[in-house]
Chain A
Amino acid sequence: MNQIKAIFLSSVGRKYIMALTGAALSAFVFVHLLGNLQLFLGAEALNKYAVLLKSNFALLWGYRLGLGAIALVHIVVALSLWVENRAARPQKYAVNTQPYTDFASKMMVCGGVAIFFFVLWHILDLTGGVLRPGLTDAKAMLGDKEVTDVYHIVIKGIGHPVAGLCYLIATCCLALHLWHGLESIFQSLGLRNKVYYMYIRWITRAAVLFLFVGMCLIPLVCMLGILK
């Protein structure tokens, strides 16, 4: 019981929670991106991938619910920290420039909230097909089976200028979030030291850049009509 308390109520314990849930969510984001990059391999590849993902109902929903729970913990703990952090300085500085705090770290909460709402919209729109009726109904033939035409749904859904713009903005938020977040995972878990900190810094930053470019590419090619 004391261990649970130490983990969920203490400052450092919650750093661990943030880092571990953050790591899991980041891993998901990278896998998600790699999957989606199959867009460039053509309709068949992507649709096949979509079928694969949905082939096992229990696995799919276990995965979805697990991910949701992790995200929920990440958000709830973040909010609890945010509330405490604000309370720790009841009176703000008259000159509140914070010159040594970089932009990415200042934007963690705002960016996080933005990402949350984006993800909500993204799920309702592309996964659930609730917001734009008919969008997700498209079908395509994969061999002799009729399957959901994810390839064209994506191109059409993301290719819409407003939606595409949302995706680009969300990507910026996510990249900024991870710019600070990925490196922080190592710091919070006690893995950052004077031998490895430079490797950690550059590898995490390279990963974020990769993510940023990959994630921007998809809406851009859809919006510009490069992929049809």
Chain B
Amino acid sequence: MNLNLKVWRQKNETSEGEMKSYVAKDVSPDMSFLEMLDVVNEELIMKGEDPIAFDSDCREGICGTCSMVVNGVPHGPQRGTTVCQLHMRHFKDGDSIAIEPWRAKPFPILKDLITNRQAFDRILQAGGYISVNTGNVGDANALPIAKDKADQAMDAAACIGCGACVAACKNASAMLFVSAKVGHLGFLPQGQPERDRRVWRMISQMDKEGFGNCTNTYACESVCPKRISAMFISRMNRDYAMAVAKGECNNL
């Protein structure tokens, strides 16, 4: 099949970008979306043009590197799927496909479809961990954890940090990402000592990065390739209120 692509091209962080048209020829339905772009890029290189720069790594849907908005939807039309796992059989001959990068102030575009997502790293550095040094931590089975709690922690921990939640949110809010880490550690007994401090510090950092605010539209959970539930956001809101009420905000 042949497809009409409109792709965001931007030379670097400071330059202006624009949508440019390309034709993807002889696309096989067995190709993944990124393989289709690979083929387009091979052609561009042969023509001496700059290939479309996009991020990808594992191409198995787990590393969270790939990040593009396909026809207005982060990771494309198939739910619960990263764009690297989206295959071309979901498109038909002659389709027009618009491809854009994540758009959010805290994710500046580095080139074409590549954005800088270090804001996420900084949020985790603010408190997304359990402060325990290596060694001498006691036996792994010394602390039983209810299966239900462990399972819920795992539901939240499945987040791959791709940023689709931010890209989909009409406010470019990072609440789902932050709540997934807060939820993961907050469900576990190991995470309790730092629970207040964690949520306070992570949200403070999130605000500092310039993400938008959550208005409970749940677009984030709809596009999340790991189907992380927005109920973790609710839980985080409560944790935050508790932290503020307990005066965590006085400890900087």
Contact = CB atoms under 8 A, between A and B. Distances in A.
Q: Verify whether A and B have any Cβ pair under 8 Å.
A: yes
Nearest to A98: B170
Contacts of A3: 244-245, 247, 249-250
Contact of A101 (B71, B170, B212): B170
A85 B212 contact: yes
Contact of A197 (B19, B203, B217, B231): B231
Looking at chain A, what size class is its interface with the partner chain? 35 or more
Contacts of B207: 9-11
Contact of B216 (A6, A16, A99, A184): A184
A170 to B, nearest CB: 22
Interface in B89-123: 98, 100, 103-106
Interface string A182-208: 011011111111100100000000000
B250 A187 contact: no
Contacts of A5: 249
B176 interface: no
Interface in A163-186: 180, 183-184, 186
A143 B192 CA distance: 66
Majority-rule SS of A interface residues? helix
A13 interface: yes
A139 interface: no
Given A93-B100, A188-B237, A85 B217 contact: no
Nearest to A193: B231
B211 interface: yes
A187 B237 contact: yes
A14 to B, nearest CB: 7
Interface string B213-252: 1111111001100000111011111111100110101100
Majority-rule SS of B interface residues? mixed
Which of A84, A100, A180, A191 has the most chain B CB within a 10 Å cutoff? A100
Contacts of B239: 190
A197 to B, nearest CB: 7
Contact of A180 (B8, B104, B216, B238): B216
A183 B19 CA distance: 38
B72 A190 contact: no
B213 A81 contact: yes
B222 A91 contact: no
B219 A100 contact: yes
B98 A95 contact: yes
A101 B217 contact: yes
Interface stretch (A32-40, A44-52, A56-64, A102-110): A102-110
A120 interface: no
Which of B231, B237, B245 has the most chain A CB within a 10 Å cutoff? B237
A15 interface: yes
A2 B250 contact: yes
B66 interface: no
A122 B247 CA distance: 43
A180 B219 CA distance: 13
B2 to A, nearest CB: 20
A127 interface: no
B244 A14 contact: no
Contacts of A85: 170-173, 212-213, 215
A93 B69 contact: yes
A12 interface: yes
A36 B216 CA distance: 31
A5 B248 CA distance: 12
B80 interface: no
B218 A100 contact: yes
Given A88-B171, A98-B72, A190-B241, A11 B231 contact: no
A4 B61 CA distance: 42
Given A85-B215, A180-B216, A187-B237, A97 B171 contact: no
Interface of A: 2-3, 5-7, 9-16, 81, 84-85, 87-102, 105-106, 108, 180, 183-184, 186-194, 197
Given A5-B249, A15-B213, A85-B212, 16 more contacts: A6-B200, A6-B244, A81-B213, A85-B172, A88-B173, A94-B6, A95-B98, A97-B71, A97-B72, A98-B219, A105-B215, A189-B238, A190-B238, A191-B234, A192-B231, A194-B231
7 contacts: A3-B244, A88-B173, A89-B212, A95-B71, A98-B168, A100-B223, A189-B241
